[in-house]
Every structure is written in structure tokens, then in C-alpha cells.
Amino acid sequence: MENTAKKVTMEELVAFCKRRGFVFASSEIYGGFAAVYDYGPYGTELAKNIRQAWWKEMVQLNPNIVGLDSSIFMSPKVWEASGHVGGFSDPLAECKKCHTRARVDHLLEDIGVFADEKMSDDQINTLLKENEGKVSCPKCGQKDFSEAKSFNLLVKSNLGNFMGDMEDPVYLRGETCQGIYINYKNVVDTARVKIPFGIAQIGKAFRNEITARQFIFRKREFEQMEMQYFVHPEAAAEAYGQWREKRWSYYVDTLGLKKENLKWHEHENLVFYAKAAWDIEYNFPFGFKELEGVHNRGDYDLTTHMENSGAQLSYRDPKTNEEYVPHVVETSVGVDRTFLAVLTDAYTVEEFEKEDGEGKKSIDSRTVLKIPKKLAPVKIAVFPLLKNKSDLVAKAKEVFAELAHLYVCEFDDNGNVGKRYRRQDEIGTPYCVTIDFDTLEDDTVTVRDRDTMTQEKVEIKSLESYFRTKLNQK
Ligand code: GAP
């Protein structure tokens, strides 16, 4: 089998996601809605498996990490105290010809000049001036921009405001971790946790991203998986190093991403809450970009919420009686970016030799999603060899009903078996089970493996233990 080893392009991935029901553009029948996407049937399964893998890694396997599910809406005081109302912004400039607004750091990046959203307006405007006449408008191509200004990313809502104005807005959360800080005391008081301990949460976050680009990489409504690890101030540096190592091995060992597609990036300009920030970057079809941020947030968050709310958020060590404000190590990754990284890594076009009934060999090719089994949207596909043979169909339905109690399965009787294999390969189904005429005689089925394309006979009564071994969810 020869892997053509060509890196998948963004166009191929977007077309694949639409064609096979992984991702749809939101509100497509109304012409779409920028930077918002919907997960289709297979995408929903994949996203669910990504959440499960993260939850298992962070909560289930760590006795000192507990879960939380806080609301999307919080008091607007939370966002004022956290610094997001004042300081959570991207640099925006307007094209003087067509009035398109664009992120200046991205425009500079496009011409090879390093810039990021954490730079001050002055720093960004200096760079913009130095590159005058080089930076072009993404819409009309003109090279003349207004001065850059900071544009706040928080999304406003009128929830609970019946006056019809937006004078006292509330905000949709811009990051999920604020829900963790404001529940920190509730968890300490109720969950019998002792420092060091973590609180993990998965949930939607919203940002008014200026540039809607790169598919699900940068969405305005997206989903974060965040864990905040509370430690003694003197233990923060060590915990930070440990979490960086653990998160790296999660991507390599647990999600099976190719090592060469991952790298570390240290932030030079730190966001307002961070003492140190490293990103794990993934080699997406458009190059290496942030997949996960691992941040040392110091005592910034608990201190600011303590000062602004008046609540007592310090911690008293039950053994030493020492009282202190814990420091926080944060790991933060998007479901959507993990989804895109997993698909980029797994999408494979390969050539293989096949033989017809008379022994004649020829070269064929297939698209196969070599996704880790635990992430595959469908684990087992069940086929009756022929759709018009009622005994085969009835037996296949029996097998399907048994396996569907244990795994996400798909029943397929459309087209010939070869075509069904291709369809399942494309969505990454690890095993296909075919019920044929032998089944009616000896109660065996043919199990075909996605990666090796080999087939073996298995007794129906052994299928449960066979798949328990093969689909070991570890
Ligand atoms: N609590 C820290 C925080 O929110 P961040 O670097 O702004 O830090 C963390 O975001 C992660 O959330 C990113 O590494 C990325 O995986 C995901 N993320 C951020 N903005 C996103 C967006 N607009 N669309 C999709 N995912 C996003």
C-alpha cells in the first residue's frame, strides 16, 4: 500500500466535511453566516468523541481534578473584573477605499511581518506605517488603511434587559475559565479538594472575531475544553512544566497526532492575565498555528475577583494553616481546532494493488480517514451481502441490533460491498462486518479491517469479545 503522502489542502478538507456530513456552514439556505458552522451527523460523533477523550484524560484519570458546567451568561461584573471589558481586543483597521475592516496583525502576517493581537496600538501602528504600501485589503486589494484601533471581542446580549436598548449589556462568555474562577470557592467548600487540584470544563465561548477565515479554526461561536489547576504559589513553575509535558504527550500518545505536525511556540507578548504562555501548534493545511494554550496565570484571576466581589478566595492549608491566594496553571484548547487537527492528520489518499477474480492485478486508490479508533464517528458498519435476500438482511439486522448496544454502528445495504468499504474508509470506520451465505450455514461473519484491508471470519457469538479487544478504548 502506498500512501501518496500529499498534505491535504483546506479546499479538500472543507469539501470532504460538507460531502460526508462532518461540517456544514451555518444558515446555508440563507446564504451562510460568517464564522459560524454546524456539525453534521458524523461531525457530531467525532466532536463528542473528542470531548470524551479530553474529559477522560483530564478528569476521569486524575483523582484531583473535578468537573464543572457553568453557564454561558454571568454577571457583567465578572467580565469587568477579569479585564475583558477593558482589554480583550484585536487590532482593526479600515480600508480607505472599500471600508472593509480587517485584523492588522493578520494583514502584516500575510506579508511575512511578525505581529500579534497582544501588541499595543502604538506597536501595531508603527509596523503598519513601516509597511505602508505593502499591506493590501483582502477585499479590493487597495493598499491604504486607516490607523489601527483596538476592537473588543466580547459579544453583547440583551438577556434580562427589557428596555430595548443595549446600554447595560451582558456578555456571552469569551472564555469558559471565568466560570471556573467564580465557582472556585463553591468547589473548595463542597468537593473535598485540596491544593493542588484542578477544575475542568467543556463549553461554548463566543468572540467577535474580526476576520472570519480558516474554516472552523477561527469561529465566532466555538467550544473550549479548559482546565484550571490551583497550586501553591511556590509550586506554580513546577506544575506549569508538568502540565506542558502532559499536554504534549496527550496529543502524541492519546490522540495519536504525528509528532512532526506539532511544535511549541512561546509567546513574547503576553496577554493581560498571563505570567507565561506557551502554545502547542499544529501543522494545519495553512501552516503551524495555535492548537492549545498552556498558561501560567499566576494569582491574577482569583485576586481580581476577590478585589472586585469582596468574596474571600484565598486558601487555608488544612495541615500548615498557611493562607494564600493560589496560583493557576491553565490548559486551554478548542474542540473545533482539535477536530481540524485530527482530520488533517488522518485524511489519507493511498494507492494499493488489487486482484480480480481471475488473478489479474491492477492499482486502485482510496481515501481513508486513519483516525484513532476511539475517535472514529462510526466504530462498526454492518452489511448484508445482498440487499434483496431477505434472510441475509434479517440476519444482518440481528447482528446490528446486538452491536449497536455497545458501539456506534451503521447499517449499510446500498451498492456493492466494495463501494460500501470505500464509503466507510472515507469516514474512518475501523471495522466492517459482512453477513453472507456462509453466515446462514455456520453463523460466521466476515470482518474487514480499515487499515490493513484484510478480512477474517469471526463467529457471531464471539463478536462482542472480538471487538472488546480490537476497539479497546484505552
Ligand atoms: N482561557 C484562555 C483562553 O481562552 P485563548 O488562547 O484565547 O486562551 C484558548 O484560547 C484556545 O481556545 C485556543 O488555543 C483555541 O484552541 C481555542 N480558540 C480560541 N479562539 C477560538 C476561535 N475563535 N475559534 C475556535 N477556537 C478558538
Atom of ligand 1 nearest to the CA of 338: 16
Q: How far apart are the CA of 206 and the centre of ligand 1, in A?
A: 10
What is the Cα–Cα distance from 241 to 294, expressed in whole angstroms?
10
Residue nearest (by alpha carbon) to ligand 1 atom 22: 218
What's the 3-state SS for 427-449?
HCCCEEEEECHHHHHHCEEEEEE
User: How confident is the model at residue 121, as a pLDDT?
Assistant: 86
The order of strands in the sheet holding 444-449 is 409-411, 380-384, 431-435, 444-449, 455-459
Atom of ligand 1 nearest to the CA of 175: 4
Q: Which of 89, 180, 181, 290 to mutate to test ligand 1, by most ligand atoms within 8 A of the CB atom?
A: 290
Are the C-beta atoms of residues 96 and 145 closer than 8 Å to each other?
yes
Residue-level pLDDT, tens digit, the chain, 474 residues: 555 567 899 999 999 999 999 999 999 999 999 999 999 999 999 999 999 999 999 999 999 999 999 999 999 999 999 999 998 898 999 889 988 888 898 888 889 898 887 788 888 989 988 998 899 888 888 998 999 999 999 999 999 988 877 788 999 999 999 999 999 999 999 999 999 999 999 999 999 998 777 899 999 999 999 999 999 999 999 999 999 999 999 999 999 999 999 999 999 888 788 889 999 999 999 999 999 999 999 999 999 999 999 999 999 999 999 999 999 999 999 999 999 999 999 999 999 888 887 888 999 999 999 999 999 999 999 999 999 999 999 999 999 999 999 999 999 999 999 999 999 999 999 999 999 999 999 999 999 999 999 999 999 999 999 999 999 866
157 to 78, 406, 461: CA distances (angstroms): 15, 42, 56
Q: How far apart are the CA of 178 and the centre of ligand 1, in A?
A: 14
Atom of ligand 1 nearest to the CA of 293: 14
User: How confident is the model at residue 74, as a pLDDT?
Assistant: 98
Are the C-beta atoms of residues 441 and 390 closer than 8 Å to each other?
no
Q: Which amino acid is at 334?
A: G
Please, which residues bridge with residue 295 across strands? 277, 330
Atom of ligand 1 nearest to the CA of 273: 2
User: How confident is the model at residue 473, as a pLDDT?
Assistant: 60
Ligand 1 pocket residues where CB is under 6 Å:
175, 177, 207, 209, 218-219, 222, 224, 226, 290-293, 330, 332-334, 336-337
User: How confident is the model at residue 164, as a pLDDT?
Assistant: 75
Are the C-beta atoms of residues 119 and 105 closer than 8 Å to each other?
yes
Q: Which of 181, 222, 243, 338 to mutate to test ligand 1, by most ligand atoms within 8 A of the CB atom?
A: 222
In Å, how far from its chain's centre is CA 49? 11
130 to 102, 121, 123, 430: CA distances (angstroms): 18, 14, 11, 54
Atom of ligand 1 nearest to the CA of 334: 16
User: How confident is the model at residue 271, as a pLDDT?
Assistant: 79
Q: How far apart are the CA of 207 and the centre of ligand 1, in A?
A: 9
What is the Cα–Cα distance from 408 to 376, expressed in whole angstroms?
9
User: How confident is the model at residue 448, as a pLDDT?
Assistant: 98
User: How confident is the model at residue 329, as a pLDDT?
Assistant: 98
Which segments of 233-389 does DSSP mark as H helices, in order?
236-249, 300-309, 335-346
